[in-house]
Amino acid sequence: MSQIELQKKIEDHSARLAVIGLGYVGLPVAALFAQRGFNVTGVDVKAERVDRINQGISPIEGDEPGLSELIAGVVKSCKLHATTDYDELKDVDVVLVDVETPVNHAHIPEYEALRAALKSLSAVLKEGALVVIESTIMPGTMQNVVLPILEKNTERKVGQGFYLGNCPERVMPGKLLKNLNSMSRVVGGDSPDTAAAMRALYGNIVAADLDTADWITAELVKTVENTYRDVQIAFANETAMICEALGADVWRVRELVRKSPGREMLLPGAGVGGHCIPKDPWLLASSVKGLDVRVRLIPAARDINSFMPSHMLDLLKGRIKDLNGKRILLLGYAYLEDSDDTRDAPSQYFIKALEAEGGQAVVHDPYVAEFAGDLYEKAKDCDAAVLITAHSQYKSLDFAKLKAALKTPVLVDGRNLWDKMEVSKAGLDLVRLGDFSM
């Protein structure tokens, strides 16, 4: 199939699509293309997830506006079907790959899922099909990892036997469908013609700019943008700790700084989690390993943000010196408010630090089934409470009821969620990140 034929099939919606990896990115992408009239096959290694999707049930919990209804509709209309079997992709014209691309403990990219997906796809890839990597990858991965696997295992050449592109995702839990529709995308192709075909494809679900580029540019844009955010959060977190040491309120400082034109300051917090920001800076830094580039800022920012869960414990220890044998109520386990996404959540690191001190965490999270339940029942006999995740439910806490349940009226706020005066009126001692002011 030529690129002209492929683009025509995309434009008249006769192209058959597949999405490999039905998680936070792949599933809403598959559902949106199905809603736009494409026949979409989703592939995932988790049979339970596949079964739920084929029943029209979203496996993604949390507050995701419109997603459950969308999945139910496209499954009912037979436009979306999920499977664990790659053989069902033999007649597919376009394949989007949305698998996890983590880094290991040495901060080196691990591509186990990506390599496995590409090898399985190679065995059934239709000649002339377009393969698009949406997963965030280290700059250079398209050229040095993806291309060699596909060419070797299909015994075809890119631009002849298949086409290859990189279009990094730009989504966030809680805003999956909104971000897919409203966020601009970079479409990097093996050639300008491939990038044009990708632009025609994504124009079906993206109502923002679709900028064409080559592979390396697309890879860099995604890793750079997330690294930028990580560095800016690190600055906010370090400023918060400076304010604590000097007896100032970082939230008031931030408010006044932002009144100066062009002076933006992100929010400090209890830690940075999720699949992207803790990982993507290392992808960017790893891309120049062995080259004559001294990377200093990125590791420093990562160190600051990784330290914040331990700093939350330090704030708690300012009120409760000895945590041995103490039970601490942890408010929020997911890394992001109103989400069930627990990947690399700061709460996990806080719990480890607490347990190292001999303490025990009693976790509450309304969006994570394992930790759901009555918050005030969980608070009984706990020695203090610590907010890690700013779920909406926590904004309307009954502070008097919480105080009555806790052994010690200590509440540590890692997200600036509550008004100091309101909490104090209930008799709780509020310790707020970045605020040791009088």
Reported as a single tens digit per residue, the pLDDT across 91-111 is: 999 999 999 999 998 999 989
Tens of pLDDT along 160-171?
999 999 999 999
Per the structure, the complete domain to which residue 363 belongs is given by 248-438
Contact 399, 430 (CB under 8 A): no
Please give the pLDDT value at position 438.
52
Model confidence at 4, pLDDT cuts 50, 70, 90, reads: confident
CA distances to 38, 39, 57, 177, 316 from 75, in Å: 12, 10, 9, 17, 48
Instruction: Judge if 309 and 427 occupy the same domain.
Output: yes
Cβ atoms of residues 187 and 101 within 8 Å: no
Each residue's pLDDT tens digit, 241-251: 999 999 999 99
The residues that bridge with 410 in the sheet, in sequence order, are 429
Q: Is 372 inside a domain boundary?
A: yes
Mean pLDDT of all residues belonging to the chain: 96
**pLDDT, tens digit, for every residue of 120-167?**
999 999 999 999 999 999 999 999 999 999 999 999 999 999 999 999
| Catalytic residue IDs | 222, 276
Q: Is the domain of 347 the same as that of 392?
A: yes
What's the CATH number where 76 sits?
3.40.50.720
pLDDT at 275: 87
Q: Is residue 199 part of a domain?
A: yes
Question: Are 117 and 10 in the same domain?
Answer: yes
Residue 163 lies in a domain: yes
Which tokens go with 220?
A: 């860099």
The Cα–Cα gap between 212 and 367 comes to 38
Indicate whether 226 belongs to any domain. Answer: no
Q: Is the pLDDT of residue 326 over 60?
A: yes
Residues 48 and 189 placed together within one structural domain of the fold: yes
Please report the pLDDT score of residue 5 as a whole number. Answer: 86
Instruction: Place 63 in a pLDDT band, splitting at 50, 70 and 90.
Output: confident
pTM summary value: 0.92
Residues 141 and 258 in one domain: no
Mean pLDDT for the stretch of residues 296-314? 98
The answer to whether residues 363 and 371 touch, using CB atoms and an 8 Å cutoff, is yes
- Domain count for the chain, please give it: 2
| Same domain, residue pair 261 and 156 | no
> In terms of domains, do 25 and 145 share one?
yes
Q: Is residue 220 part of a domain?
A: no
Residue at 224 is within a domain? no
Question: In terms of domains, do 136 and 278 share one?
Answer: no
| 236 within domain boundaries | no
What tens digit of pLDDT does each residue of 386-404 get? 999 999 999 999 999 999 9
Is residue 231 one of the residues assigned to a domain? no
Residues 6+ apart with CB under 8 A from 64: 28, 58, 173, 174, 176, 177
Same domain for 408 and 265: yes
- 1 pLDDT higher than 80: no
Q: Residues 343-368: what's their mean pLDDT?
A: 97
The predicted structure's pLDDT at residue 127: 95
Model pLDDT for residues 215-256, shown as the tens digit of each residue: 999 999 999 999 999 999 999 999 999 999 999 999 999 999
